[in-house]
Amino acid sequence: MSQDNGAHAESGATGATTDASLASRAKNPKKNGPKWWLISLIAVIVAVAVVIGVTLAYAKKDNGTASGNGAAQANTVTIGLKLAPTNLDIRNTAGSALDQILIGNVYEGIVARDSKNQVTPAIASSWEESKDGLTYTFHLNKNMVFSNGDTLDAEDVAWSINELIAKQYHDADALEAVSKVEAKDADTVVITLKTPNSNLLWTLTGRAGLVFDKDAKYDLKTQAVGSGPYTVAKFVENDSITLKANEKYWGKNKAKTPTIVVKYLADDNAAVNALKSGDVQVLAPITENLAEPFTSDPSKYVVKAGDGTDKYVLGFNNASGSKLADKRIRQAIRYAINHDELIASRGGADKALGGPIPSLDPGYEDLTDLYPYDQDKAKSLMAAVGYSEDKPLELTLTYANIYGTELGDQLRSQLKPIGIDLKVNVVEFSTWLQDVYTNHDFDISLVDHNESHDFYTWTDPTYYFGYDNKDVQKLYAEGIAATTDKERDAKFAEAAKLISEDAPADWLFNYRITTATAKGVEGFPFDLNQTVLPLYNVTYSLAEFSQK
């Protein structure tokens, strides 16, 4: 095909020269002009055609080799995710993108969590907790190695946790209750606490419990040496990670697919196109509103929403002196927000959330009845403070541009009839961190608090909400000190209800991730997959592939 075009181009070109020379010989300028422009026009068209032709010919070849490799392609599964890590330094850099890709895949913790947010064995095969809740004894697996061949034993575990505390790495504050971590022998680690902490085990499933090789030297920002089923073969910041099965892997979560490529697709449309054109086999998350082409084609795709702990928190500034210090205004806002409508506009997958604890966290209770959508009630509350639609209260909503402009626009129009003139200020995330998070300079803020077990933020009056309730703090402390899960859950639930009644924030919804996969992809977790994403089980079956 390209040759055809080439031939055309050549004949076109020779034609042009002969025409031109003929034209120049004929000394009739009137006939000259139009031919020249015609010739240049043709030249342009031919040039364009050649370029397209050549590339198309190559494109065909390219597709050919791709499907030729198809038989071996099941060796690689490409997964499209959204939020990209800027480096691999899981000890220092915050962000769930790192937890998502590294924990359980490249690094392993002393314990792990499953997709229901429950603690499961990992490096430790079993553990005991003393009656007083102050001593945890972990029994480790045997014959464990890191991907570089170094053995992994209790020394590495104790060193990793002690180092975290000593150097105050990310999440070190979650281990404040720990007094010491010791390797009793090669297979046993003992953690001793100052005070009981019912959250300890869960905390150790995250960054606080990760085990690093104490003898390995590598650049934490661009490399990773762990004991998980995969190793990082290639990392391009803000773009992609290539994982290869760890040949030295010691455990039972052996990688089923030799190579997994994770491509970060920040642009929603680009992500959808990538799945459509087969560049990726999995897309998590996919914008619910854009999932239509996939949901309508169940023979080729599977689309499913999973549970998660993402809480879209419309946080009010509760500090005294704030415009929102008056509880009636905060309550009015909560009554005025039509959560169902917000959720519907996002595609309907998300779940209403009436309080600070999502369904996968301890202490969850459905609190959505506390503040049902009730505009009249909202209006009368605002009227009691002295505001109405004609004489509105001016408030500013500050939030980061990563959440899109839609929510702000919707809230502005929902709050307008009750007498609130909402100015929406969409800023860079770092500006939000500075103004809202650090300086508490805001009226209303909106953030997706995606971390699990972050209920403690409501017990810290210095946190940006500025929420200070002694009863809540007491209940939380009791819950933490509880030695049974049941007792802890009851205390947390009671505290959560108190908080929700106080209306220090509105919980817009519990964001549920919608995941779309090509048919034939198995083992990809749907729940919690933005923080916990074990990939060892993921396969893409060839039978489906060739049928397609």
Among 281, 368, 414, 529, binds other proteins (CB under 8 A): 414
**Residue of 1, 7, 22, 47 that binds other proteins (CB under 8 A):** 47
C-alpha span between 453 and 476 (Å, rounded): 12
- H or E element in which residue 394 lies: strand 393-400
Decide whether 323 or 449 has the Cβ nearer to other proteins: 449
Q: Binding to other proteins (CB under 8 A): which residues in 382-401?
A: 401
**Cβ atoms of residues 135 and 190 within 8 Å:** yes
**Residue of the chain from 11, 14, 17, 24 that contacts other proteins (CB under 8 A):** 24
Give me the 61-80 binding string for other proteins, x by CB under 8 A, dash otherwise: xx---------------x--
**Closest to other proteins by CB, 148 or 240:** 240
- Which residue, 158 or 447, is less far from other proteins as judged by CB? 447
Contacts of 125 (CB under 8 A, 6+ apart): 139, 140, 141
Residues 6+ apart with CB under 8 A from 354: 366, 367, 368, 369, 370, 371, 500, 507
Q: Which amino acid is at 353?
A: L
357 binds other proteins (CB under 8 A): no
Q: Roughly how many angstroms between the first and final C-alpha of the chain, as a whole number?
A: 27
CB of 175 to other proteins, least distance (A): 13
In a 3-state reduction of DSSP, which class is residue 431? helix
Distance between CA atoms of residues 208 and 119, nearest Å? 14
Candidate list 73, 148, 151, 240; residue touching other proteins; CB under 8 A:
240
Of 1, 58, 186, 546, the one binding other proteins (CB under 8 A) is 58
Q: Give yes or no for residue 477 binding other proteins (CB under 8 A).
A: no
Q: Is 412 in the site for other proteins (CB under 8 A)?
A: yes
Minimum distance from CB of 309 to other proteins (Å)? 13
The interface with other proteins within residues 256-285 (CB under 8 A) comprises 261, 263, 265-270, 272-274, 276-277, 279
Q: Are 389 and 416 in contact (CB under 8 A)?
A: yes
* Segment holding 76, helix H or strand E: strand 76-81
Q: Which two tokens stand for residue 520?
A: 């034939």
CB of residue 146 to other proteins, shortest distance in Å: 21
Does 338 engage in binding with other proteins (CB under 8 A)? yes
Min dist CB 1 to other proteins, Å, is 12
Residues in contact with other proteins, shown as a per-residue x/- string from 163 to 192 under the rule CB under 8 A: -----x-x-xx-------------------
Show the site string, 425-464: x = touches other proteins by CB under 8 A, - = not.
-xxxxxxxxxx-xx--------x-x-x--x--x----x--
Looking at beta carbons only, is 229 or 408 nearer to other proteins?
Answer: 408
Give CA–CA dist 66/62, Å, rounded: 6
416 binds other proteins (CB under 8 A): yes
| Residue from the set 34, 70, 298, 372 that interacts with other proteins by CB under 8 A | 34
Pick between residue 41 and residue 186 the one whose CB is nearest to other proteins.
41
* Contact by Cβ (8 Å): 491, 80: no
Residues within window 196-235 making contact with other proteins, judged by CB under 8 A: 219-222
Q: How many CB atoms lie within 10 A of CB 3?
A: 10
Sole binder of other proteins in the list 6, 33, 149, 298 (CB under 8 A): 33
Tokens of 27: 């000394």
Return d(Cα 532, Cα 541) in angstroms, integer: 23
CB 119, CB 131: distance < 8 Å: no
Residue 30 beta carbon to other proteins: minimum distance, rounded to whole angstroms: 6
Q: Whole-number minimum distance, CB 452 to other proteins, in Å? A: 11
For other proteins, the binding residues in 491-510 under the rule CB under 8 A are: none
CB of 414 to other proteins, least distance (A): 8
3-state secondary structure 487-545: HHHHHHHHHHHHHHHHCCEEEEEEEEEEEEEECCEECCCCCCCCCCCCCCCCEECHHHH
Taking the complex as a whole, the smallest distance from the CB of residue 436 to other proteins amounts, in Å, to: 10
Binders of other proteins among residues 101 to 160 (CB under 8 A) are none
Neighbours of 18 (CB within 10 A): 10
Query: What separation in angstroms does the CA of 55 have from each of 59, 304, 371, 375?
Result: 6, 37, 60, 60
